[in-house]
Chain A
Amino acid sequence: MAQVVLKDLVKTYGSIYAAKDVSLTVNDGEFVALVGPSGCGKTTTLNLVAGLIPITSGDIVIGDRVVNDLDPKDRDIAMVFQNYALYPQKTVFQNLAFPLQMRKLGKSEIDTKVREAARVLDITHLLERKPRELSGGQQQRVALGRALVRDPAVFLMDEPLSNLDAKLRVQMRSEIKRFHQDLNATIIYVTHDQLEAVTMADKMAVMNGGLLQQYDSPANVFANPVNMFVASFIGSPAMSLVPLEVASVDGAVALSSAEGWSLPLSDANARKVATAKSRKVVLGARHSTIRLHKQQVPGAVPARVYTVEPTGDITFVQAFLAGAVVNISLPPTAEVAPDDQVWLEFDQERIHLFDGETEMALRAS
């Protein structure tokens, strides 16, 4: 196993940046998820690390070698593809054996290693089958096996679960996590599903528009998103974002809406707002931090219920607030109906404030 360092990695297609100045370090044995919407550059970044596409500039270091110009085969990596990319004409055994044959291992050694990998992944009974005779989950396991059998320095995984059905995905998620823990493997894992990233990864790298937005542990990314993109991308349902204006009400700093109400800020939040470039500030709050009242209470602001979605143990409510949609979670016993007039109370300790112009999170100076 080895660490992977990306330094100012750039990939351009013509004048389009697919990846721009991506720098991050994946420590030995770490599970890092590259996450972002489609087209954000995460798969490009993975392919750059794999050597499947040439880099435009920057450096890739695997272990202690700069691998910029090395062929994929010489980078000591293994990769699991979204569509598994199992060789259709080969049996499972031959699929697993292929990377070893390419490295010119002896027949008996190949046999031992393949059987060992098959045992670990519980696919021994499938060794003589062809990929098309396997279920999606079994194919997935074979693809993992083909990566595992080589004992590579780094595992690269490109949306390996997105072709599976929901139930199998949850199961394979924990298996991959187990796989990581048992092998103490260095894994770079691409996904568009933030839930996969949050549940499995040690660190997540959130990308958008070819740029690395934030690189931190899932807990920190969740708690302190650096900008509105990260805030809205991580967490489900998404963080509610309400555009407001800074105002002074009775000598105190407050956020006011076009609807006429205003929300006084705590001192800590007032200091953050003071750093904003203009009066435009966006209020962010996660569903679990908002309290819903059916009567007016001090400090709460008026909103109108739009939809009510009971899911069993939690009921999600969407409400209109100052022209934005706000998500709130309630216990299933709550009695709310669409079009109800309600009042929302924000937890000053747990709200997020963003600069309305730069979209960056506001921090107290």
Chain B
Amino acid sequence: MTSTAQSGAPRGARRIDGWRWAGRIFLAFMLLYTALPMVWMLLTSIKSGFAAMQFPPQWWPSEPTLASYQKLLDPQNSVGQDFLRFFWNSLFVSTVTTILAVAVAVPAAYAFSRFRFPGRKFLFFAVLLRNMFPAVIFLVPLFILMRWLGLVNTHGSLILTYLTFGLPLAIWLLKGFYDNIPFQLEQAARIDGATRFQAFLYIVMPLSVPGIIATAIYSFIGAWNEYIYAATFLTKNEQLTLPVGIQRFFSENTTDFPGLMAASFMMSVPVVVLFLLLQKYFVRALTEGAVKH
């Protein structure tokens, strides 16, 4: 910056550089704010319980150990058994929720994007409004509903519930994608001899694959991280999903901070990996749905 300033660049150029530096300093601060907790989680998770509880803290573990991870992942050990079971439960519930949400949201989003049936706007906003309701409102009545359906203490109760908040989001995101697919493509297909449904199946569906991927990631992450319904609907230990399971376990073992951090890390791995692999779809979904003018 200084070299251009000294060589007599106009004042405007110097001011732009000022903004650039302000931006860099700000980003450095945000990086610190964002990354420090994650780094500290990792560093704590490879300490022994004793090393974690020192004052002043050991910034860098003097004797790094993977003991906490071994404990969590060891199927012979009761902690490991529980953790792996929670992990599997979370995976199962999130996967089934995602598949169902996409399967139901695809036709609905398409209809909202394309068709002009009476009540379309009302229905669309009714669907969107679901996202406005706090989970707590639904807890008691849904619990009673689940009991009536005989679904308490089953993963079915969670899947059905997760669909209710996964669906509106999925429909909204997918509608954004469909809105961006020119409807002339379907017109062309229909003139080329396709029925309306064939036009959807052969032409629109393949084009909306990125949207479907993005929607699937959102549904999966939402279901994976859900806590409040799981905490209410599930009581049996072997049914619990990760967030609830970890919370129950560590409310009884309050001082095992390395274990808690290792568990938090393990719980974050699938969603973070999913996000990093499919980042571009993830961000694009919001772009298409929310930002278009």
Contact = CB atoms under 8 A, between A and B. Distances in A.
Q: Is A–B contact present in the complex under a CB 8 A cutoff? A: yes
A51 B189 CA distance: 13
Contacts of A88: 185, 207
Contacts of A71: 190, 195
B141 interface: no
A79 interface: yes
A146 interface: yes
Contact of A52 (B182, B185, B187, B194): B187
A73 B190 contact: yes
Interface string A13-45: 000000000000000000000000000000000
A87 B190 contact: no
B286 interface: no
Interface stretch (A96-104, A214-222, A244-252, A258-266): A96-104
Interface in A85-131: 85-89, 98-99, 102-103
A52 B114 CA distance: 13
A73 B192 contact: yes
A98 B190 CA distance: 11
Given A87-B203, A89-B206, A102-B198, A81 B184 contact: yes
A285 interface: no
A156 to B, nearest CB: 8
Contacts of A150: 192-193
B9 interface: no
B185 A73 contact: no
A289 to B, nearest CB: 42
Given A71-B195, A102-B198, A85 B188 contact: yes
Given A87-B203, A88-B207, A89-B206, A72 B185 contact: no
A85 B187 contact: yes
Size bin of chain B's contact surface: 10 to 19
A152 to B, nearest CB: 9
Given A83-B182, A85-B182, A88-B207, A73 B195 contact: yes
Interface in A68-86: 71-73, 77-79, 81-83, 85-86
Contacts of A255: none
B136 interface: no
Nearest to A146: B192
B191 interface: yes
B182 A73 contact: no
Interface in B185-214: 185, 187-195, 198, 202-203, 206-207
Contacts of B189: 87, 98, 102
A50 B207 contact: no
Nearest to B205: A89
Nearest to B185: A85
Residues of A contacting B: mostly? loop
Contacts of B203: 87
Interface string B244-255: 000000000000
Interface in B254-284: none
Contacts of A85: 182, 184-185, 187-188
Given A88-B207, A89-B207, A98-B189, A73 B194 contact: yes
Nearest to A99: B192
Nearest to B209: A89
Contacts of B191: 50, 52, 72-73, 77-79, 99, 156
Interface string A134-165: 00000000000010001000001000000000
A264 to B, nearest CB: 56
A150 B194 CA distance: 13
A102 B207 contact: no
A102 B206 contact: no
A51 B186 CA distance: 13
Interface string A46-80: 00001110000000000000000001110001110
B188 to A, nearest CB: 4
A16 to B, nearest CB: 15
Nearest to B202: A98
B207 A79 contact: no
A41 B87 CA distance: 61
Interface centre among A77, A81, A82 (most CB of B within 10 A): A81
Interface in B72-126: none
A237 to B, nearest CB: 33
B184 A99 contact: no
Interface in A267-317: none
A205 B245 CA distance: 74
B246 to A, nearest CB: 43
A156 B192 CA distance: 12
Contacts of B193: 73, 99, 102-103, 150
A56 to B, nearest CB: 15
B195 A79 contact: no
B109 to A, nearest CB: 19
Interface in A155-192: 156
Interface of A: 50-52, 71-73, 77-79, 81-83, 85-89, 98-99, 102-103, 146, 150, 156
Give me the 6 closest cross-chain CB pairs, A-B, nearest first. Answer: A102-B193, A99-B192, A85-B184, A85-B188, A73-B193, A72-B190
Interface of B: 182, 184-185, 187-195, 198, 202-203, 206-207
Given A50-B187, A102-B192, 15 more contacts: A72-B187, A72-B190, A72-B191, A73-B193, A73-B194, A79-B187, A86-B188, A87-B185, A87-B188, A87-B189, A98-B192, A102-B189, A102-B194, A103-B193, A150-B193
8 contacts: A52-B187, A73-B191, A79-B191, A85-B185, A85-B187, A88-B185, A89-B206, A98-B192
